[in-house]
Structure 1
Amino acid sequence: MTPFGEKIRSLRKARGINQKKMAADLGVSPAYLSALEHGHRGQPSWAMVQKVIHYFYLIWDDAEEIETLARLSDTRTTINTAGLPPETVAFVNTLAAKVDQLSPQRVAELMDLLDRGKD
């Protein structure tokens, strides 16, 4: 599941809307919406993000959160390491090889470290 998919699923369920109805209201197939919610589809288009924001009547911080989560939901991220130090290239490749082995707690710790911007 992606951050965007998790959020829209949560919003949909909190409002008691089933997938079929939401998909019809947004003009997409139920299969697409399901794939988006479950992370089988990655980053949604800008237009889809805007449809979701308007569908749930989100404003200000809530709308910004949806946009941010959409940007963080690319399931096929590529990192260009050209020109970076060898240690950084090795780190990125090691992370790519082992990311599926990280516990949620370790991911949270790494995210906290990255958010603080400290070495």
Structure 2
Amino acid sequence: MTPFGERVRQLRRERGLMLKDMAAHLGVSSAYLSALERGERGKPTWTLIQGVLQYFNIIWDEADELARLADLSDPRVKIDTSNTNHRATLFANRLAREIGNLSEDDVEDMLAILDNAQERERRAVTPVQAPQDAAYDSSPGP
């Protein structure tokens, strides 16, 4: 199951909606929508995402979150390691081979590492306000 598929299924079930009714509204087959929910289909199109948002009457932050989940829901990921070191390439290849053997705890630990790396990058990009120059400090000195 993909993050997008899991969230769509959760929304549909919370609202007591039938898969076949949602599929008809979106103009797709029940089989396709079921496969999308289970993660057996690739990343949904922009048009389908917009249809899902409209179907559930989702706006603002929740709409942004669902679109973000759709972007992270390609079950056939391709990783370009051409601009990284050899260890990153090794890691990507090992992950591709071993991901099915990882426990839920292993996956959660790796996600936490990636979240920390993303936060570090976000902090590095955020401009830090420089302290005021002491030469221009008008407060009384010692």
Q: Shorter-normalised TM-score: what interval?
A: over 0.9
User: Over aligned residue pairs, what C-alpha RMSD do you find?
Assistant: 1.0
Q: Structure 2 stretches of 5 or more lacking a match?
A: 121-142
Matches within 5 A, 1:1-119: 1-117=1-117
Answer whether contact 1:4 1:70 (CA < 8 A) is retained. yes
**CA distance in structure 1 between the partners assigned to 2:15 and 2:83 by the alignment:** 48
Deviation string for 1:13-64 (max 9, x for gaps)? 1111111111011111111101101111021001111110111011111101
Under a length normalisation based on structure 1, what TM-score does the superposition of the two structures give?
Answer: 0.95
- Residue 83 of structure 1 deviates from its aligned partner by 3.4
- Residue 85 of structure 1 deviates from its aligned partner by 1.0
Percent sequence identity is: 48
Answer whether contact 1:5 1:39 (CA < 8 A) is retained. yes
More relative contact order in 1 or in 2 (CA 8 Å, sep 6+)? 1
Q: Structure 1 stretches of 5 or more lacking a match?
A: none
- Residue 71 of structure 1 deviates from its aligned partner by 0.6
Larger radius of gyration: 2
Instruction: Give the paired residue count.
Output: 118
Could you tell which deviates more after superposition, 77-86 or 14-23? Answer: 77-86
**CA distance in structure 1 between the partners assigned to 2:7 and 2:101 by the alignment:** 24
> Letter of the aligned partner of 2:24 in structure 1?
A
**CA distance in structure 1 between the partners assigned to 2:76 and 2:25 by the alignment:** 28
Answer whether contact 1:19 1:33 (CA < 8 A) is retained. yes
List structure 1 runs of 4+ shifted beyond 6 angstroms: none
Answer whether contact 1:53 1:63 (CA < 8 A) is retained. yes
DSSP-derived class of the 1:31 partner: helix
